Amino acid sequence: MAESSITPLDLGVVFAGGAAGTGIRLLLVSAAPHAWGPLATLGINVLGAFLIGMVLERMAVAAPSAESAARRRLRLLLTTGALGGFTTYSALATDTVQFLTVGEGALAVVYALGTVLLGAAAAFAGVVAGSLLLGRRS
Residue ranges per domain, the chain?
8-133
Report how far residue 14's alpha carbon sits from residue 81's, in angstroms, rounded to the nearest whole number: 4
Question: pLDDT by residue (tens digit) across 8-25?
Answer: 999 999 999 999 999 999
pLDDT at 12: 97
pLDDT at 137 exceeding the cut of 60: no
Question: pLDDT by residue (tens digit) across 84-129?
Answer: 999 988 889 999 999 999 999 999 999 999 999 999 999 999 999 9
- Model confidence, pTM: 0.85
Looking at residue 103, what DSSP letter applies?
Answer: T
pLDDT at 134: 73
- A 10 A CB-CB count for 125 gives 16
